[in-house]
């Protein structure tokens, strides 16, 4: 390594326009993505794989919905709340969506402050993100409880096709698990930021790798993904 001087800037190769340029760029020396670290590329590839999982879940739900002969329950009625005698369709889901999307905003801010080495603001923003995430999971638990009390089960429900309950618990459960795992890792990483582990490069407990502020961003990628998936679940399950 020493003979070349790793810090010496390397002139970017000139690329031909069109498809050939794209191929040459991707297949270039040492790294295909010049600005991305290993961890970031890994998270992107993982999210691509996870996209296929959620995509398959949603496609399966749509197929089940189309192939069943019993009418599908009206989601906006099932997920309505009665508050002070007034009838609000999808009220809780709207709040949940709002909370989760807000948490994406705070996450983005945390990433920004992380790169400015602003320990305090990064930690606080990550904690707020985790709080919103936990709030989302809490509201989901409330929703599950309400539906279970109304007699919705994975194997049947009083409103219509039984695949409604099955798809609902499976998809929101799988997404909720993602959010919960995200909250746990947000807390772990927020603690690391607060303790200065990323300033000192303290090795991780499991992997033994040096801590870097980039982990905040990688966490952010995951969090935004979970958020984006929710938008699709919201659109295809609740609004359709």
Residue 56 beta carbon to other proteins: minimum distance, rounded to whole angstroms? 4
Nearer to other proteins, 70 or 184 (CB): 70
Nearer to other proteins, 196 or 201 (CB): 201
Residue 123 beta carbon to other proteins: minimum distance, rounded to whole angstroms? 25
Contacts of 88 (CB under 8 A, 6+ apart): 80, 81, 82
Residue 185 beta carbon to other proteins: minimum distance, rounded to whole angstroms? 15
Question: Running DSSP on this structure, what letter comes out for residue 66?
Answer: H
Is the Cβ–Cβ distance between 238 and 143 less than 8 Å? Answer: no
Q: Which residues bind other proteins (CB under 8 A)?
A: 1, 4-6, 8, 10, 26-34, 36-38, 41-42, 45-46, 48-50, 52-53, 55-57, 60, 63-64, 67-70, 154-155, 161-163, 165-166, 170, 174, 206-210
Closest residue by Cα to residue 94 from 107, 83, 110? 83
Nearer to other proteins, 64 or 101 (CB): 64
Contacts of 23 (CB under 8 A, 6+ apart): none
| Ramachandran area for residue 83 (φ above 0: left; ψ -120 to 50: alpha; else beta) | beta
Residue 69 beta carbon to other proteins: minimum distance, rounded to whole angstroms? 6
Nearer to other proteins, 4 or 149 (CB): 4
Burial of 132 (0-12, 13-18, 19+ CB in 10 A): buried
Residue 192 beta carbon to other proteins: minimum distance, rounded to whole angstroms? 17
DSSP secondary structure letters along 107-172: HHHHHHHHHTT-HHHHHHHHHHHHHHHHHHHHHHHHHHHHHHHTT-BTTB-TTS-THHHHHHHHHH
Nearer to other proteins, 113 or 222 (CB): 222
Nearer to other proteins, 131 or 232 (CB): 232
Is the Cβ–Cβ distance between 229 and 104 less than 8 Å? Answer: no
Nearer to other proteins, 57 or 185 (CB): 57
Residue 217 beta carbon to other proteins: minimum distance, rounded to whole angstroms? 16
Residue 130 beta carbon to other proteins: minimum distance, rounded to whole angstroms? 24
Distance CA 172, CA 159 (A): 18
């Amino acid at each position: 390594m020493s003979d070349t001087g790793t810090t010496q800037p390397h002139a970017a190769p000139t690329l031909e326009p069109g498809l050939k340029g794209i191929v040459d760029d991707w297949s270039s020396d040492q790294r295909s993505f010049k600005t991305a670290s290993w961890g970031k590329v890994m998270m992107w590839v993982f999210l691509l794989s996870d996209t296929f999982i959620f995509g398959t879940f949603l496609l399966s739900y749509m197929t089940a919905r189309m192939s069943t002969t019993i009418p599908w329950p009206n989601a906006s009625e099932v997920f309505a709340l009665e508050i002070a005698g007034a009838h609000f369709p999808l009220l809780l889901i709207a709040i949940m969506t709002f909370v989760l999307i807000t948490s994406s905003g705070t996450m983005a801010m945390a990433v920004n402050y992380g790169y400015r080495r602003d320990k305090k603001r990064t930690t606080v923003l990550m904690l707020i993100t985790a709080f919103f995430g936990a709030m989302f999971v809490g509201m989901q638990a409330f929703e599950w409880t309400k539906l279970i009390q109304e007699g919705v089960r994975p194997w049947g429900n009083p409103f219509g096709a039984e695949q409604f309950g099955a798809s609902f618990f499976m998809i929101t459960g799988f997404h909720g698990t993602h959010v919960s795992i995200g909250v746990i890792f947000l807390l772990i990483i927020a603690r690391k930021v607060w303790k200065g582990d990323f300033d000192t490069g303290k090795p991780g407990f499991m992997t033994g790798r040096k801590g870097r502020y980039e982990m905040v961003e990688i966490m952010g990628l995951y969090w935004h993904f979970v958020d984006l998936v929710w938008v699709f679940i919201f659109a295809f399950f609740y609004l359709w």
